[in-house]
């Protein structure tokens, strides 16, 4: 039904208001009848309704005058009749268009919702955000207190996830901490209940106690849309919150690509996290700060006002324990505001560029498809030369004939565009499903908006011109007297062959670039997946344990950690297990700067190393080799000598290679907490963040010397049994230690796969569209070669009759096509060379002008070209000259 | 409009359906489909175009909904105006004339 409301928009407003209700009812009843007849009837009915709406909606918008009437009632009708007369050509053209336009629209709709769509809030263009990451709560409070003087509202936002489970394994939903004025500033009002305000955002809570706001989606999914959810208690991180309201379905938070299902006030962090709260920390950077520009004020004016307030805010929030150098930078660093009408998204930096590249790829595929349709229509126009010349002879104007051919293209493009919209609805959802990984979900609002419709309309119209112009111009070359010599045979062929050859050359050139691009992306992906990780993820199960809700105080956590460690060690079905703060490709990281005494002089980026506190046996669990020295040991406690195990890259970076055992490393060299640590072991290299980032210089500290046992850590288990029973065994072991622990499981191999999601997506899509381009170019070549062979039938027959061998005929035909392919390939190689600079950033392990890939693409195109030309060539060589000459 | 001009087949069938009694849009469509035995392929889009033309020409007007039908989703009811009946009468005269002429040709008997 929404579909028809949407179609009704095609009618002028007055008409819609007058008849809308009746039309909706008529549509609903006919739809019900069609649905009862079966799914095919239903689909046909929906398609027909869409076409009718476009047709009659347009008619109603036009003045009821004679000129329009002539175009709409005669030209378009004649065009649609003639299209129906050649159903196969029309169907092929429509399917190519629907797929081409659909793929383009699908990608555009993803880019649209990711990058272009403004947030569904009041006056989104007034929203700005302090650039570059997150800020501490003290800074936010400082800004909040001053904001009323220079903004029309400000709020803090921190995207996170919340555990809604009562006990045991976590039940995570995406959510956010937001400051009290978030909804007022954004101008969002509740679907039901109320949204929280600054009165709720205090550590003593508001009148309703600790409150939470739900997304419309969560309300529907978990509470069945039951309005009695208001006032109910909801456990968030095992703390009872009162649900006070549900956000409207349009607003799902300020992060694009993720739905904030649960939003709670910033100050409730003190309640949830107790002593670990980030509220008073001057070094916990977790809040994004958003503002609304007052009307009439520019972003520069507000930036100026904000920075005028900066010294006071910075002074009051200075991290006292920092070294002077950092404090100085902290005080001087200015605030920068960026326009944020389209919200914020972690997906943008990751996917905006690959999706743009793919959008160009599908654009090129559409152009190639258009060339094929143009060729098809040209062939059709040639077959209709007789009809055209008769009509010219009878007095029709050339303009009239051209108008009808344009009308045909217009109908094809409009129908193709409508079908493309339907394809896009399906394809874009499929694509978004591919963006999500086992590790993170992606939710994008893909509902059609005016941008998407304008894009589709522009693409459809553009394609109509692309494939419709050549046949329409061809009409002007038809001579009236041609009707008289329709049966004559020509030896020279057809002038329009030139146009068709040019089209094929363009197709070959474009598809070569696409095949090169596909080759580059696929080889990047292969080299990424074959990159050694340095460990074997296949049997590794990672358990994240969160001790925050256990009864243990921070001081008692060490004992709890040891109990957990011992309990996990005795779980059956686990070969090895060990604990670490960080797991490879797990998404979190920890780095520091330092040096090794008597080692190389390093500074800046080169002095950077990456930290992972691990328990004994961690290397064994991951299958990493100890090359020298020893593993961290159970005796490496807080009071023992500070030690560290480093990897090969670390040894190379800081001492230039060789055996580092016994050397002293200065960790966190620039900070007051700098400490001297003895290197006791050397392990083989392993990936820290992801394969693309490569191997980092890594320092593995003993878990207990890693700055205290923090509230959560990860257990890596090398399992010998199946995953579900390992999970069950681990869960029951953890619950036995402390029923209030929360934990979640993740397979390391899933995480490794997720870390390559972007490359996989690009490789998959470019491979698919590259193959499609190759296929389309092949069809184009085949079509144009068959046509040429048909045109030269007489000539070839004469040659055969005069004694030409089959081989020489094949060679002649292939030579002609070879010339087309060669020209196209040269242009395409140039095109690839030029386009290379745009894809460099997306490649891994090869240069954008990789000669090997180009060679492979050349071979692929040449093979397709030979195959496409060989089929008609063989037919020509086998032709019976006497029958050909008799015709 | 010249009410003595020939009515388009779809318009004629719509007027005919409404001449019997006031109907809402979808009921008119259904009636036309039945009367014409499917020979007038009336779809929502084309029907409302014809209807709006008939209203603009003053042959049909909106009518109040009959008692007992307060379903707001059905859309408006429509009624034939006096002018509409004249147009139907003119069509009747025209068709009667044609039928009379055809009868003389005695096409039915073979």
| pLDDT at residue number A91 | 82
Band of residue A200 on the pLDDT scale cut at 50, 70, 90: very high
Q: Quick one: pLDDT band at residue A154, thresholds 50, 70, 90?
A: very high
DSSP string, A146-160: HGGGT-S-EEEEEEE
Band the pLDDT of A144: cuts 50, 70, 90: very high
Q: Are B91 and B8 in contact (CB under 8 A)?
A: no
* Residue B89 C-alpha, separation from nearest chain A C-alpha, in angstroms: 27
What is the band of A705 on the pLDDT scale with cuts at 50, 70, 90?
confident
Q: Which residues contact A184 (CB under 8 A, 6 or more apart)?
A: A153, A197
Q: What percentage of chain A reaches a pLDDT higher than 90? A: 32
Angstroms from B46 CA to nearest CA on chain A:
7
pLDDT, residue A750, reads: 87
* Residue A153 scores a pLDDT above 90: yes
Tell me which of B25, B45, B61 to substitute to probe the interface with A (most A C-beta atoms closer than 10 Å).
Answer: B45
pLDDT band (50, 70, 90) for residue A872: confident
CB contact under 8 A, A19 and B75: yes
What is the pLDDT confidence band of residue A232, given thresholds at 50, 70 and 90? very high
Least confident among A10-14, A390-394, A726-730: A390-394
Can you tell me the distance from the alpha carbon of A11 to that of A54, in angstroms, rounded to the nearest whole number? 8
Residues A235-274 as b/e (b if ≥16 CB within 10 A, e otherwise) read: ebbbbebbbbbbbeeebbbbbbbbbbbbbbbbbbbbbbbe
Structure confidence at residue A4 (pLDDT): 81
Q: What's the distance, CA A25 to chain centroid?
A: 39
For chain A, the residue count is: 887
Asked if A22 and B46 come within 8 Å (Cβ–Cβ), the reply is no
Residue A729 · residue A681 · CB < 8 Å: no
Token reading at A159: 């995207």
Handedness of CA A432, A435, A438, A439 (dihedral sign): negative
ipTM, 2 dp: 0.82
DSSP category for residue A357:
H
**Dist CA A42 CA A31 (whole Å):** 7
pLDDT value, residue A869: 87
Compare CB distances from B73 to A21, A52, A57 and report the shortest one's residue: A21
CB-based contact A373:A162 (threshold 8 Å): no
pLDDT at position A245, please? 94
pLDDT value at residue B110: 47
Residues counted in chain B: 110
Mutate to test the interface with B, among A26, A31, A44, A68 (most CBs of B within 10 A): A26
How many C-beta atoms lie closer than 10 Å to residue B89's C-beta? 12
Which of chain A's residues have a Cβ under 8 Å away from the Cβ of B51? 19
Q: Is B37 left (phi over 0), alpha (psi -120 to 50) or beta?
A: left
pLDDT for residue A477: 67
Crossing angle for the helix pair A851-877 and A806-839, nearest 10 degrees? 150
- Residues A508 and A820: beta-carbon distance below 8 Å: yes
Mark which residues 2-21 of B lie under 8 Å from A by CB: none
Sequence-distant (≥ 6) Cβ neighbours of residue A392 within 8 angstroms: A398, A401, A478, A479, A480
What are the phi and psi torsion angles at A665 (to 5°)? -100, 140
Q: What is the dihedral of CA A694, A697, A703, A704, to 10 degrees?
A: -160
Helix or strand or coil: residue A338? strand
Structure tokens given for B97: 């004339």
List the single best residue of B28, B31, B44 to mutate versus A (max A Cβ within 10 A): B44
Nearest Cβ partner of A56 from B26, B49, B76? B49
State residue A300's pLDDT score.
92
| pLDDT value of position A178 | 96
Please report the DSSP string for A160-207 in residue order: EEEE--SSEE--EEEEEEE-TTHHHHHT---SEE----TTT-STT-BT
DSSP annotation of A29: H
Q: What is the mean pLDDT of residues A208-215?
A: 94
Q: Which of A74-88, A140-154, A640-654 has the lowest mean pLDDT?
A: A74-88
Q: How far is the CA of A194 from the CAs of A212, A214, A216, A225, A247, in angstroms?
A: 10, 10, 13, 16, 9
Let me know: does A486 contact A386? Beta carbons within 8 Å: yes
Q: How confident is the model at residue A483 (pLDDT cuts 50, 70, 90)?
A: low
Using a CB-CB cut-off of 8 Å, the residues of chain A touching B74 are 21-22, 25
Q: How far, in Å, CA of A384 to CA of A345, rounded?
A: 55
pLDDT at A484 over 70: no
Which range among A291-295, A441-445, A591-595, A856-860 shows the weakest confidence by mean pLDDT? A441-445
Q: Rounded to a whole number, what is the distance in Å from the CA of A191 to chain B's nearest CA?
A: 25
Q: How confident is the model at residue A631 (pLDDT cuts 50, 70, 90)?
A: very high
pLDDT category, A489, cuts 50, 70, 90?
very low
Probe site for chain B from A19, A22, A44, A52 (most B CB atoms < 10 A): A22
From the list A438, A494, A529, A468, the residue with the least C-alpha distance to A756 is A529
For A327-380, the pLDDT digits (tens) are 888 888 889 999 999 888 878 877 888 888 888 888 998 888 888 888 888 777
Chain A residues closer than 8 Å to B29 by CB: 26
Whether the predicted pLDDT of A881 surpasses 70: yes
Mean pLDDT lowest among A426-430, A491-495, A535-539: A491-495
Q: What DSSP string describes A518-569? A: HHHHHHHHHHHHHS--SS--TTEEEEEEE-TTSS--GGGHHHHHHHHHHHHH
Give me the long-range contacts of A494-503 (CB less than 8 A, separation at least 24). A494/A382, A494/A791, A496/A378, A496/A382, A497/A784, A497/A787, A497/A788, A497/A791, A499/A378, A499/A470, A499/A474, A500/A375, A500/A378, A500/A784, A500/A787, A501/A784, A501/A820, A503/A371, A503/A374, A503/A375, A503/A470, A503/A780, A503/A784
A22 chain-B contacts, CB cut-off 8 A: 24-26, 48, 74-76
CA Rg value for chain B:
16
Instruction: For residues A807-834, give the mean pLDDT.
Output: 89
Residue A463 CA to residue A416 CA, distance in Å, equals 10
What residues have CB less than 8 Å from A276, skipping those under 6 apart?
A548, A554, A711
Mean pLDDT within B47-67: 85
Instruction: Tabulate helix, strand, coil % of chain A (nearest 5).
Output: 55, 15, 30
Pairing assessment for the beta strands A675-683 and A643-647 based on DSSP bridges = parallel
Q: pLDDT band for position A590 (50/70/90)?
A: confident
Per-residue model confidence (pLDDT) at position A129:
93
Distance CA A603, CA A594 (A): 8
pLDDT digits (tens, 9 = 90+) for A497-510: 677 788 889 889 99
- Return the pLDDT at A800: 87
pLDDT of residue B69: 65
Which residues in chain A have their CB less than 8 angstroms from residue B26's CB? 22, 25-26, 29
Q: Is the CB of residue A4 less than 8 Å from the CB of residue A27? A: yes
What's the token pair of residue A637? 């406690």
Comparing CB atoms, the residue among B25, B43, B45 nearest residue A22 is B25
Q: What is the mean pLDDT of residues A820-845?
A: 88
B45 and A55: CB-CB below 8 Å? yes
Cα–Cα distance, A727 to A268 (Å, whole number): 32
pLDDT at A476: 64
Q: Structure tokens of A412?
A: 């094809």
Alpha-carbon gap, residue A823 to A192, rounded angstroms = 66
pLDDT band at A491 (very low <50, low <70, confident <90, very high): very low
Which domains are present in chain B? 9-105 (1.10.10.10)
**Would you state the pLDDT for residue A68?**
59
Residue found under tokens 């978030």: A182
pLDDT at A488: 47
d(CA A427, CA A415): 18
Count other C-beta atoms under 10 Å from residue A62's C-beta: 13
Residues of A with CB under 8 A from a CB of B: 15, 18-27, 29-30, 48-49, 52-53, 55-57, 59-60
Residues A155-162 have a mean pLDDT of 92
From CA A33, how far away is CA B29, in angstroms rounded? 14
Q: Check whether A27 has a pLDDT greater than 50.
A: yes
Which one has a higher pLDDT value, A246 or A63?
A246
| In chain A, % of residues over pLDDT 70 | 95
Residue A382's nearest CA partner among A490, A285, A262, A267 is A490
According to the model, what pLDDT value does residue A492 have?
A: 44
Q: Touching check for B41 and chain A: CB below 8 Å? A: no
| CB proximity B43 to A under 8 Å | yes
Euclidean distance between the first and final Cα of chain B, in Å? Answer: 41
Average pLDDT, chain A: 86
Cβ atoms A520, A847 nearer than 8 A: no
Q: Looking at the predicted structure, is the pLDDT value of residue A555 above 90?
A: no
Q: Which helix (H) or strand (E) holds A315?
A: helix A310-316
Which has more pLDDT, B105 or A707? B105
Q: Are strands A742-747 and A540-546 parallel, antiparallel or unpaired?
A: antiparallel
Which residue on chain A is closest to B23 by alpha carbon? A22
Q: Do A25 and B76 touch (CB under 8 A)?
A: no
CA distance, residue A424 to nearest chain B CA (Å)? 25
Residue B73 pLDDT: 64
Segment A22-26 shows an average pLDDT of: 87
Position of tokens 């003993």? A702
Tell whether B45 is within 8 A of chain A (Cβ).
Answer: yes
Q: Which of A428, A456, A426, A438 is nearest to A114 (CA)?
A: A428
Highest mean pLDDT among A223-237, A434-448, A732-746, B61-75: A223-237
Number of other CB atoms surrounding residue A231 within 10 Å: 10
Q: What is the predicted pLDDT for the residue at A493?
A: 45
Candidate from A20, A22, A60 with C-beta closest to B26: A22
Q: What is the pLDDT of residues A77-128, one digit of tens each?
A: 778 888 888 787 788 788 888 888 888 998 888 888 888 888 989 999 999 9
């Amino acid at each position: 039904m929404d579909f028809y409301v949407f179609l009704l928009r095609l009618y002028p407003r007055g008409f819609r208001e007058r008849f809308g209700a009746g039309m909706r009812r008529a549509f609903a009843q006919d739809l019900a009848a069609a649905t009862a007849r079966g799914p095919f009837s239903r689909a046909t009915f929906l398609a027909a309704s869409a076409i009718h709406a476009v047709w009659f909606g347009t008619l109603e918008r036009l003045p009821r005058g004679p000129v329009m009437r002539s175009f709409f009632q005669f030209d378009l009708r004649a065009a649609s009749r003639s299209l129906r007369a050649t159903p196969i050509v029309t169907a092929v053209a429509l399917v190519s268009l629907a797929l081409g336009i659909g793929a383009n629209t699908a990608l555009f709709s993803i880019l649209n919702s990711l990058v272009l769509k403004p947030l569904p809030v009041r006056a989104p263009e007034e929203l700005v955000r302090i650039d570059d990451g997150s800020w501490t709560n003290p800074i936010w409070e400082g800004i909040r207190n001053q904001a009323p003087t220079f903004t029309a509202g400000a709020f803090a936002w921190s995207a996170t996830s919340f555990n809604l489970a009562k006990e045991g394994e976590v039940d995570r939903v995406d959510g956010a901490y937001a400051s009290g004025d978030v909804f007022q500033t954004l101008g969002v009002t509740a679907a039901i209940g109320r949204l929280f305000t600054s009165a709720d955002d205090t550590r003593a809570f508001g009148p309703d106690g600790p409150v939470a706001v739900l997304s419309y989606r969560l309300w529907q999914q978990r509470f069945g849309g039951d309005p009695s959810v208001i006032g109910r208690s909801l456990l968030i991180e095992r703390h009872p919150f009162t649900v006070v309201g549900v956000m409207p379905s349009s607003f799902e938070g300020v992060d694009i690509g993720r739905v904030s299902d649960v939003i709670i006030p910033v100050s409730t962090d003190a309640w949830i996290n107790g002593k670990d709260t980030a509220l008073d920390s001057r070094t916990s950077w977790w809040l994004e700060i958003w503002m609304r520009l007052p009307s009439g004020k520019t972003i520069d004016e507000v930036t100026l006002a904000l920075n005028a307030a900066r010294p006071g805010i910075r002074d009051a929030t200075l991290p006292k324990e920092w070294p002077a150098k950092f404090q100085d930078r902290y005080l001087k660093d200015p605030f920068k505001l960026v326009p944020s009408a389209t919200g914020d998204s972690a997906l943008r930096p990751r996917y905006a560029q690959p999706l743009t590249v793919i959008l160009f790829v599908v654009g090129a595929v559409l152009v190639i498809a258009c060339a094929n349709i143009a060729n098809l229509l040209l062939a059709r126009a040639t077959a209709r030369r007789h009809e055209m010349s008769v009509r010219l002879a009878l007095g029709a104007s050339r303009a009239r004939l051209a108008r009808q051919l344009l009308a045909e293209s217009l109908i094809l493009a409009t129908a193709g565009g409508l079908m493309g919209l339907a394809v896009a609805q399906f394809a874009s959802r499929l694509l978004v499903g591919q963006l999500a990984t086992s590790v993170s979900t992606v939710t994008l609002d893909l509902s059609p908006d005016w941008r998407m419709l304008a894009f589709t309309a522009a693409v459809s119209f553009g394609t109509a011109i692309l494939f419709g112009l050549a046949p329409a111009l061809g009409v002007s070359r038809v001579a009236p007297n041609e009707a008289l010599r329709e049966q004559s045979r020509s030896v020279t062929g057809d002038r329009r062959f030139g146009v068709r050859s040019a089209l094929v050359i363009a197709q070959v050139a474009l598809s070569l670039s696409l095949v090169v691009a596909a080759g580059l992306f696929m080889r990047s992906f292969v080299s990424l997946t074959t990159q050694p990780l340095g460990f074997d993820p296949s049997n590794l199960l990672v358990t994240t344990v969160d001790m925050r809700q256990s009864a243990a105080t921070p001081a008692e956590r060490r004992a709890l950690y040891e109990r957990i460690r011992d309990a996990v060690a005795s779980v059956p079905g686990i070969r090895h297990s060990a604990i670490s703060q960080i797991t490879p490709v797990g998404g979190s990281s920890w780095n520091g700067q330092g040096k090794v005494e008597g080692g190389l002089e390093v500074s800046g980026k080169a002095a950077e190393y990456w930290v992972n506190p691990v328990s004994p046996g961690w290397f064994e669990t991951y299958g990493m080799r100890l090359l020298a020295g020893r593993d961290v040991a159970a005796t490496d406690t807080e009071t023992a000598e500070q030690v560290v195990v480093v990897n090969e890259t670390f040894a190379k970076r800081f001492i230039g290679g060789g055996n580092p055992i016994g050397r002293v490393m200065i960790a966190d060299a620039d900070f007051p907490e700098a400490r001297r640590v003895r290197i006791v072991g050397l392990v083989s290299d392993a990936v820290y963040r992801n394969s693309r980032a490569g191997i980092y210089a890594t320092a593995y500290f003993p878990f207990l010397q890693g700055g205290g046992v923090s509230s959560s850590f990860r257990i890596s288990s090398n399992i010998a049994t199946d995953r579900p029973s390992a999970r069950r065994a681990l869960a029951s072991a953890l619950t036995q230690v402390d029923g209030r622990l929360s934990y979640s499981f993740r397979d390391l191999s899933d995480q490794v796969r997720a870390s390559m999601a972007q490359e996989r997506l690009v490789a998959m899509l470019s491979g698919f569209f590259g193959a499609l381009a190759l296929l389309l170019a092949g069809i184009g070549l085949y079509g144009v070669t068959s046509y040429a062979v048909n045109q030269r039938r007489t000539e070839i027959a004469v040659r055969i009759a005069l004694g030409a061998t089959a081989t020489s005929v094949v060679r002649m035909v292939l030579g002609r096509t070879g010339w087309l392919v060669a020209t196209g390939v040269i242009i395409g190689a140039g095109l690839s060379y030029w386009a290379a600079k745009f894809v460099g950033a997306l490649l891994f392990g090869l240069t954008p002008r990789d000669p090997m890939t180009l060679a492979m693409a050349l071979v692929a195109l040449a093979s397709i070209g030979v195959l496409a030309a060989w089929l008609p060539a063989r037919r020509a060589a086998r032709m019976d000259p006497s029958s050909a000459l008799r015709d | 409009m010249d009410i003595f001009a020939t009515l388009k087949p779809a318009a004629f069938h719509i007027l005919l359906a409404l001449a019997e009694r006031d109907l809402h849009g979808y009921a008119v469509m259904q009636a036309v489909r039945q009367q014409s035995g499917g020979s007038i392929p009336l779809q929502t889009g084309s029907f409302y175009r014809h209807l709006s033309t008939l209203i603009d020409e003053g042959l049909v007007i909106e009518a109040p909904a009959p008692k007992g039908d307060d379903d707001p989703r059905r859309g408006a009811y429509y009624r034939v105006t006096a002018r509409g009946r004249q147009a139907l009468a003119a069509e009747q005269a025209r068709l009667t004339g044609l039928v009379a002429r055809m009868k003389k040709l005695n096409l039915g008997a073979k």
